[in-house]
Amino acid sequence: MTEQIDKALEREYEAGFVSDIESETFEPGLNEDIIRRISAMKNEPEWMLEWRLKAFRVWLEMEEPDWAHIKYSKIDFQSISYYSAPKSMKDKPKSLDEVDPELIRTYEKLGIPLIEQQMLAGIAVDAVFDSVSVVTTFREKLEEAGVIFCPISEAVHRFPDLVKKYLGTVVPTKDNYFAALNCAVFTDGSFVYIPKGTRCPMELSTYFRINEQNTGQFERTLIVADEGSHVSYLEGCTAPQRDENQLHAAVVELVAMDNAEIKYSTVQNWYPGDENGKGGIYNFVTKRGICHESAKISWTQVETGSAVTWKYPSCILKGDNSVGEFYSVALTRSAQQADTGTKMIHIGKNTKSTIISKGISAGRSNNSYRGLVRMNPGAQGARNFTQCDSLLIGDQCGAHTFPYVESRNPSAIVEHEATTSKVSDEQMFLCRQRGIEPEKAVSMIVNGFCKEVFKELPMEFAVEAGKLLEISLEGSVG
């Protein structure tokens, strides 16, 4: 039985190809000079460079964290290249016609057409390739609505006041080791600003691609939703199949002003390494949002890739009546490791948070949920509900749950439910006895397990997530 399930879970990593693109790549190494060069490549103002250098000095004083339930060989930060960009991007192409067709083909192959006529209507895409943003679509249309959606390297020039005002306010430089590193060496990412009372007319999405060898990707995303605005943002990631590990250390900051709503969805499919755990991406990411009064931030993530995942998209519920949500599916197989979860920090009165986490472990993988729910003294009437389910496939994998609850307000209510189950012989036999192939049976059972999270994903991503888990979408009952 286990054999059949393993077979069912075996899949080619379809995004594992390498694009033949001539790049300008820094030699490996990390020092102040490298940071100055990154800043110079982006033609940054002095304040940005100072911010980076300050962060670098902070990082030098910090220790790599070791509390997560993951094992990996120590990262040699001097052996990584911190900047790589296609040469053709040097002249800053002004329109899509000037972009290297090979780059456009790369995204097409990944199912992300960048030519607006071919795109899914209603989704604007920022395509980040190694250290630079290649193109951002539908910008004019968005600007008509007052929405800013552009590479963060461009926002530093065009909207310095906004960037200065919010950058590093949700995830401070000192927050953690990888966040500090990101502050020092971040290269590109997306910047979003939704003006007051505006409902963003399209889904926004950023597609991250690592192509170059020995290169780290350090992207930085900042989304600011002003009072009463609304935005839904999607993020996808892939990388070629390579034998050595590559580091991806991103920082995402979300700011939801009073009555604003941000929905942030991720389908993470970085190269997971081979069957024996060779190669793959180290995905060490800090994602956090702050909610002002009556604001709402909803994180949905489907994590299927990466050799090691270390990631806790969190909400600081500062304003009264604000709402935080975290919906997560994390699938690990072969030798993959994931330590992921969330933090919900309740500061304001009557704040609410919901955590639904579904961990699926197969092969020899290890999958941990780690979550913190903190009710501060002022969080009168705050509520949290956490549901944390683990599904085991086979008998060599591990599922772990590390829930932390801190309540300093007696009126706050915290609920935690956790289950661990297996894809059972009985379930498999029932499916097969009705004529269903074992492969289809596994994906159906796993799909069922993840249903509560999948229904939170925007339609297009639900499709991609389904494909990733080899799941055919559910039939016709609406």
Partner 1 sequence: MSNITPTTEKSMLTITDLHASVEEKNILKGLNLDVKPGEVHAIMGPNGAGKSTTGYVLSGRDGYTVEKGSAVLDGVEILEMEAEERARAGLFLAFQYPVEIPGVSNLEFLKASVDAQREARGEVAYTSAEFLKLAKEACKQVDLPLAFLKRGVNEGFSGGEKKRNELMQMILLKPKLCILDETDSGLDIDAMQVVANGVNSQRSPDRSFIIVTHYQRLLDYIKPDFVHVLSDGKIVKSGDASLAKELEAEGYAWIHNEPKDELEGDLL
Residue numbers at the binding site for partner 1 (CB under 8 A): 1, 424-427, 429-438, 440, 444-445, 447-452, 474-477
Question: Quick one: tokens of 329?
Answer: 């599916």
Give the Cα separation of 440 and 420 in Å (integer): 22
Select 230 or 432, whichever has its Cβ closest to partner 1. 432
CB of residue 456 to partner 1, shortest distance in Å? 14
For 254, other C-beta atoms within 10 Å of its C-beta total: 30
Q: What angle do CA 203, 354, 225 make, to 5 degrees?
A: 35
Give the Cα separation of 369 and 452 in Å (integer): 17
Q: Is 152 helix (H, G, I), strand (E, B) or coil?
A: helix
Q: Which long-range contacts (CB under 8 A, 24 or more apart) does 12-20 make?
A: 13/241, 13/271, 13/272, 15/110, 15/238, 15/239, 15/240, 15/269, 15/271, 16/240, 16/241, 16/271, 17/109, 17/240, 17/241, 18/211, 18/240, 19/102, 19/103, 19/105, 19/106, 19/211, 20/102
Q: What angle do CA 53, 309, 385 make, to 5 degrees?
A: 105
Select 139 or 432, whichever has its Cβ closest to partner 1. 432
Q: Which helix (H) or strand (E) holds 126?
A: strand 123-129
Select 132 or 441, whichever has its Cβ closest to partner 1. 441
Residues 6 or more apart from 60 whose CB is under 8 A from it?
none
CB of residue 428 to partner 1, shortest distance in Å? 8
CB of residue 58 to partner 1, shortest distance in Å? 45
Select 21 or 445, whichever has its Cβ closest to partner 1. 445
CB of residue 262 to partner 1, shortest distance in Å? 27
> Which residues, listed in sequence order, are joined to residue 355 by a DSSP beta bridge?
326, 386
Select 161 or 426, whichever has its Cβ closest to partner 1. 426
Residues 6 or more apart from 67 whose CB is under 8 A from it?
none
CB of residue 426 to partner 1, shortest distance in Å? 4
Give the Cα separation of 13 and 238 in Å (integer): 10
CB of residue 338 to partner 1, shortest distance in Å? 21
Give the Cα separation of 38 and 44 in Å (integer): 9
CB of residue 399 to partner 1, shortest distance in Å? 16
CB of residue 437 to partner 1, shortest distance in Å? 6
Select 403 or 448, whichever has its Cβ closest to partner 1. 448
For 117, other C-beta atoms within 10 Å of its C-beta total: 5
Give the Cα separation of 48 and 157 in Å (integer): 10
Question: Quick one: tokens of 239?
Answer: 């990388």
For residues 440 and 448, the answer to whether their CB atoms sit within 8 Å is no
Select 121 or 477, whichever has its Cβ closest to partner 1. 477
Select 404 or 429, whichever has its Cβ closest to partner 1. 429
CB of residue 358 to partner 1, shortest distance in Å? 10
Report the chain's terminal Cα–Cα distance, integer Å: 33
Select 183 or 469, whichever has its Cβ closest to partner 1. 469
CB of residue 254 to partner 1, shortest distance in Å? 29
Select 24 or 474, whichever has its Cβ closest to partner 1. 474
